[in-house]
Structure 1
Amino acid sequence: MSIRVSERSGTGGSRLTLHHGTNQSGMRDHNERVVLSLLRQHGSLAKTAIARMTGLSAQTSSIIMRMLEADELLSREEPLRGRIGQPLIPMSLNPEGAFFFGLKIGRRSADLVLIDFIGRIRSMLHMPYDYPTPEPIFSFAATGLTQMMEALTPKQRERVAGIGIAAPFELWKWADTVGAPQAVMDEWRDCDIRARVAALCSFPVYLQNDMTAACGAELVFGQTKDINDFVYFYIGSFIGGGIVINGGLYAGRSGNAGALGSMPVPGPDGTARQLIDIASITALERDVTELGRDPSPLWASPEDWGEMGVELDAWIERAGKAIAQAVIASSSVVDFEAAIIDGWMPSSVRARIVDAVRRHVETFDLEGIQLPAIFEGTVGIHARALGAASLPLSDRYLLGQKLFRKGS
């Protein structure tokens, strides 16, 4: 996507006109989003760099950045000296500019996180459980929101811009898989999650599928600045994923695009299975339990699973092969630049899975398919909670898709 900006002078001063299909009232908002999105991608930029990347004049980019600075969304950095002429003054996002809550409702635990404008976690609460039930989770959210809001200054409270919720859609269908009584899980069937959370706060509430939200976290906070199209796999209790096309999160008609866990792949015995049955952590849990060992570190210690032996090796091999098949199948539909793999696991395990995927993709017939680059995700175990918090951030302050690549 490209934009053209023209400037008109008159009694009202400089005015921006965007030839972007937006109406006149939304033009200033769009221009501010352009600047904020560029600063999020690049970290800090001077107004001359903003002007060069957008095609705006230095004067116009300066006006926009002054408005954002006046709103306390930007901060001035130390001047860059040693050049001819006036020193350049880089601008960056002000961490105190806005705050966002994220609520992750998982199949084995819930998390409530508060992040600042640059995506830094300010506080986080965690609640483990055997399976999710509505009332304890909403009680956890109510208590946590009160506790976190009270820890903020009055000015910071005024700058809370929303809460995002990341939750599996149709939770009641997962009773057998999570080992929960169907009657208990049926409580989710008529539960309006967004409305229940909205009753706890006075700011906007957003809801997204948990795996799509995790993909959004990689897009907003991860190291994907140079990648416009990627397929994303998140290995949690169950594996799922998301899709980014043209630099924007693609949720699809029902919000469930990128339901990669449902993708059919050959199982170890050659029969058709779903990816979720092979590459999910619950599959590893089952193997560990059958060997008479304690699987609790898989859920309680995502950064350190302790000593695991052949069962972990075997699961990584099976998961790597199945994900490799899913990467190839996905790439036959969309010409992705990259496949990104992350999950609720130690970074060393994630690295081994990525290595296994890279190794296995080379064993398949790739004729007619341009294989994407295969990378580790960079957000890690909190991707779903951070993805939830990214929903209000993206909606209020960022572009729907990237207009610029890093280095452009």
Structure 2
Amino acid sequence: MSVHESQSSQRSANRARVVQALRQHGAMSRGALAEIGLSRSTVAGVVGELLDAGTVVEVADSPRRDRVTGRPPGLVALNGRLGAAVGVEIANGIVRVAVCTVARELLVHESAPADDTGSPAETLRIVDTLIDKLLAATGYERHQVIGAGVAMPGPIQRRTGLTGRACTLKPWVGLDARAVAAGALGLPVLADNDANLAALAELTWGAARGLRDYAYIYSATGIGAGFVLNGALYVGANGTAGEIGHTTINEDGLVCECGGRGCLNTLANPDAITRQLWQSHRRRPSIEEVIRLAHDGDAGCRRVLADAGTHIGVAMANMYNLLDPELIVLGGNLAAAGAIIIDPLRQSMMRRAIHAGEAVPAVVAGALDQEVVVVIGAAAAVLRDATRFPLPTA
């Protein structure tokens, strides 16, 4: 290779590093970009080339000041008109679609009802219609979509891509969700568990932004977890990491759908919580109503939520002893309970965690809208994955 070819190759590699940093972190100052391992002069040159090419744009200054110059740093970000990422959530009784620019700006999202027992083909037709509608609303063409992330309510086996039997949407069990969705939608697709993608959303835009090790607890039909270790999602060898809803809490407890006894799901998922109120309330309220009544002072509703927090805390203590996260974020349909469930959760965890004199991590409710945290996390996964979803040229 000639000197000229070598220099050209190095410039291309430097441009790719800067673009990938902006994909992962959003708008950054030139000083912050230098921290990815490039000199300030190299960053200045690369950013200049990317600005000329229309790949990046200058954005509003940050209120923070540069550590070297003391001036507020000018920020650069990817040009959002380069393309878009689509997020898709296939959940129990509903599908959601979101469209984000490659600059990580959420443009629009919408949901539609879906039949839990319907075929994947029927569900994906609803999704495809929503994608067309939202792209038309935002002015993007299909060819500008770099990819779609699809969130499923259950594990995706890492080796085979098949949806595991713990998925709460039974028509999808045993199917390659990525391949089925890619064929139906005509887009490059990744598929992952809903808790994993919600964890990625909070890491990208929410309560865990800037952290490298944290745990996200997601409550929907069941309870799952997403783990971020060393800045990346951890899914395990088979894709089933985080199935904490099937952690055994009481060996003599109720039989779970997985065949085990006393799983966390039988004690603390929304179904288990609302089931306990039949006798005291003469009916079975929804989990949203339970939380609202608890905030209004209903003693029975506060009791069952606190008990659920205690049970989740047992599972969290075991998780903490293994992984030692910086932060635990509670998301999904239990997050709105706030301190009613988080305080007993943390107390239960503290009684059991081996923290060697150090404080156990904070437990907080998710910062993002819990109705869309999964679907925007699915889009975030596409935005972060430069290998499978390269950006088009300006």
TM band (smaller chain):
0.7 to 0.9
Aligned Cα root-mean-square deviation (Å):
4.0
Q: Match of 2:345?
A: 357
How big is the shift at 1:173?
A: 4.5
Secondary structure of the residue that 1:254 maps to in structure 2? coil
Q: 1:252 to 1:152 in 2, by over 3 A?
A: same
- 2:372 corresponds to 1:390: no
Amino acid at match of 1:201: L
Q: Match of 1:112?
A: 97
- 2:304 corresponds to 1:315: yes
Q: 1:114 to 1:33 in 2, by over 3 A?
A: same
How big is the shift at 1:130?
A: 6.5
Secondary structure of the residue that 1:114 maps to in structure 2? strand
Amino acid at match of 2:48: R
Amino acid at match of 1:29: A
- 2:145 corresponds to 1:144: no
Q: Number of residues paired by the alignment?
A: 369
Q: Match of 1:29?
A: 16
Q: 1:33 to 1:280 in 2, by over 3 A?
A: same
- 2:263 corresponds to 1:274: yes
Q: Match of 2:330?
A: 341
How big is the shift at 1:389?
A: 1.4
Q: Match of 1:372?
A: 361
Instruction: Give the share of equivalent positions with the same residue, in percent.
Output: 22
Q: Is the 8 A contact 2:86 2:99 kept in 1?
A: yes
Q: Work out which of the residue numbers 288, 299, 304 in structure 2 matches 1:298.
A: 288
How big is the shift at 1:10?
A: 5.2
Q: 1:88 to 1:361 in 2, by over 3 A?
A: closer
Amino acid at match of 1:375: V
Q: Is the 8 A contact 1:297 1:304 kept in 2?
A: no
Using the alignment, how far apart are the partners of 2:70 and 2:231 within structure 1? 36
Q: Match of 1:236?
A: 220
Gaps of 5+ in 1: 1-8, 19-24, 179-184, 400-408
Taking the TM superposition and a 5 Å limit, the aligned residue runs for 1:30-179 are 30-38=17-25, 40=26, 43-45=27-29, 47-51=30-34, 53-70=35-52, 72-77=54-59, 89-128=74-113, 131-134=116-119, 135-153=121-139, 157-169=142-154, 173=165
Amino acid at match of 1:385: V
Q: Is the 8 A contact 1:213 1:387 kept in 2?
A: yes
Using the alignment, how far apart are the partners of 2:361 and 2:335 within structure 1? 24
Q: 1:87 to 1:345 in 2, by over 3 A?
A: closer
Q: Match of 2:204?
A: 220
Gaps of 5+ in 2: 156-162, 256-260, 390-394
How big is the shift at 1:87?
A: 9.2
Using the alignment, how far apart are the partners of 1:327 and 1:395 within structure 2? 29
How big is the shift at 1:50?
A: 2.4
Q: 1:302 to 1:161 in 2, by over 3 A?
A: farther
TM-score, with structure 1 as normaliser: 0.75
Using the alignment, how far apart are the partners of 2:211 and 2:70 within structure 1? 36
Using the alignment, how far apart are the partners of 1:331 and 1:86 within structure 2? 41
Amino acid at match of 2:348: H
Q: Is the 8 A contact 2:216 2:329 kept in 1?
A: yes
Amino acid at match of 2:24: S
TM-score, with structure 2 as normaliser: 0.78
How big is the shift at 1:160?
A: 1.5
Q: Work out which of the residue numbers 314, 327, 332 in structure 1 matches 2:321.
A: 332
Q: 1:325 to 1:172 in 2, by over 3 A?
A: closer
Q: 1:68 to 1:379 in 2, by over 3 A?
A: farther
Secondary structure of the residue that 1:195 maps to in structure 2? helix
Q: Is the 8 A contact 2:342 2:364 kept in 1?
A: yes
Using the alignment, how far apart are the partners of 1:281 and 1:331 within structure 2? 23
Amino acid at match of 1:338: L
Q: Is the 8 A contact 2:19 2:78 kept in 1?
A: no
Amino acid at match of 2:45: I
How big is the shift at 1:345?
A: 4.7
How big is the shift at 1:240?
A: 0.5
Query: Deviation digits for residues 134-164 of structure 1, max 9, x if unmatched?
Result: 243122112112222333435x544311101
Q: Match of 1:404?
A: none
Using the alignment, how far apart are the partners of 1:86 and 1:313 within structure 2? 50
Q: Is the 8 A contact 2:294 2:302 kept in 1?
A: no
Q: 1:118 to 1:342 in 2, by over 3 A?
A: farther
- Comparing 104-113 with 192-201, which one deviates more in the overlay? 192-201
Query: Deviation digits for residues 247-302 of structure 1, max 9, x if unmatched?
Result: 11111111221111111224998997211222212223323556344645739x99
Q: Match of 1:193?
A: 177
Using the alignment, how far apart are the partners of 1:203 and 1:356 within structure 2? 44
Amino acid at match of 1:131: D
